[in-house]
Amino acid sequence: MKHIMIGGMVESSAAALGCMRICRVPLEDARKVVHQALDLGIRLFDHADVYGFGKSEEIFGEILDLKTPSVRERIQILKSLNGVIRTKAFPTKSSLIR
């Protein structure tokens, strides 16, 4: 897997896995996709709080718990918070940006 420098400071894979739809497939299928991406050297994962109303992020977190703890230290997560969905059940706020 080709790696690139992001901002001249962070090394990451040149390819990324978009995680928008991992909440729409069976958990075992999502697990296979994420593990295969890791095995292929992908270290960059795209997420947003609006993906499945946060469910995709929860599933991704569960999947990573099944891998070795060092995986979390080697990956980068692209996080988008500009898409705003506000409901009583899912109050998205721009104050979540870090």
Tokens of 46: 């795209």
For residues 56 and 29, what is the distance between their CA atoms, to the nearest angstrom?
A: 13
What confidence tens digit (pLDDT) does each residue in 16-52 have? 888 888 889 999 999 999 999 999 999 889 887 677 7
Which residues, including other chains, have CB under 8 Å from residue 7's CB and lie 6 or more apart?
none
For residues 9 and 45, what is the distance between their CA atoms, to the nearest angstrom?
A: 18
Does residue 98 carry a pLDDT above 80?
no
Mean pLDDT over all residues of the chain?
Answer: 77
CA atoms within 13 A on the CB side of 20: 5
What confidence tens digit (pLDDT) does each residue in 45-56 have? 988 767 777 788
The DSSP 8-state label assigned to residue 67 in this structure reads: S
The pLDDT, as a whole number, for residue 77 is 83
- Comparing 8 with 35, which gets the higher pLDDT? 35
Beta bridge partners of 50: none
Q: Confirm if 27 and 59 have CB atoms less than 8 A apart.
A: yes
